[in-house]
Amino acid sequence: MTGFMEDRDWIRQPTWALSHYSIHDNETELAMLAGVDIGKGFMLYNDFRLRVFLSYNTMYYSFIARGGTFLYPELDGGHFHDSSREKVVTYRQFWQILSPGVSFSGAFNRYFGIELFFKATPVIMASSFDEHLSRSLQIINDPMYYGLYLEPGLVFSLTPPASPVLLSFSLNYRNISGTRGSSRYRYPDSSNTYRSVGGAGFSAFDIGLSVRFRT
């Protein structure tokens, strides 16, 4: 288990009122992240540098929800708890982000170095596929645009004396909010599209440790 999945839907009148809510044990089936930066650095003072860059990042996630507690209208089963480990929801999400960024890096001496960076942009495209197996319902949000992406972070490096090893510790936070688009609700015998009601968000801390060997 990798946490919990909460699911909320607004598919009854009035559409501003929450109609379906459920919470489940979550499993992360697949997570893939990739990115590339293109930029230019400028020397400020001694070994301290300022760099401006353009960054392109993609993220793909696939989740599975099992069992859980359901707060549904009576038409869809009412309120109940499922204690089994049956798969009830699958959820896939894909992000593309184009953002400018700035970083400041420097070496305090020949052993310690640090880099601070920050990225922000409204240029976001996302899509998601949400399948409710018990309700025979698929919710497709493709595409969703814009919003706000923020990513601050730091990298701390250490080179032990008389050692070919370079140790790096990284910490960064990613947050995406406000992404919106149309939603298609697809049942086995019908399909409806609701304009500008779909949305997606993302929030995560990343912690990394790397070891490199110099020759």
> What's the confidence (pLDDT) of residue 1?
63
Confidence (pLDDT) at 16: 67
Q: Note the pLDDT of residue 163.
A: 78
Q: Domain span at residue 46? A: 4-125+146-180+197-213
Q: Residue 8 has what pLDDT?
A: 82
Indicate the SS3 state at residue 76: helix
Is 134 part of a structural domain of the chain? no
Write out the two tokens for 202.
């993302």
Flag whether 55 is in a domain: yes
| C-alpha–C-alpha distance, residues 120 and 106, integer Å | 22
**In whole angstroms, what is the distance from residue 42 CA to residue 38 CA?**
14
Give domain status of residue 163, yes or no: yes
Q: Looking at residue 20, which CATH number applies to its domain?
A: 2.40.128.90
Rounded distance between C-alpha atoms, residue 211 and residue 142, angstroms: 39
- Is residue 51 in a domain? yes
For residues 128-164, one letter each, b for 16 or more C-beta atoms within 10 angstroms of the residue's C-beta and e for the rest, the string is bebbbeebebbbbbeebeebebebebebebebeeeee
Number of domains in the chain: 1
Could you give the 3-state DSSP secondary structure of residue 77?
coil
Helix (H, G, I), strand (E, B) or coil at 111: coil
> What is the distance, to the nearest Å, from the Cα of residue 131 to the centroid of all Cα atoms in its chain?
19
Q: What pLDDT is stored for residue 166 in this prediction?
A: 86
In a domain, 130, yes or no: no
- Classify residue 80: in a domain, yes or no: yes
pLDDT for 4 equals 87
Could you give the CA distance from residue 85 to residue 66 in angstroms, rounded to a whole number? 5
Per-position pLDDT tens, the chain of length 215:
678 888 888 777 676 678 889 999 999 999 999 999 999 999 988 889 999 999 999 999 999 999 999 999 888 888 999 988 889 999 999 999 999 999 999 988 888 999 999 999 999 999 999 999 988 889 999 889 999 999 999 999 998 887 788 899 999 999 999 999 998 989 999 998 888 878 888 999 999 999 988 77
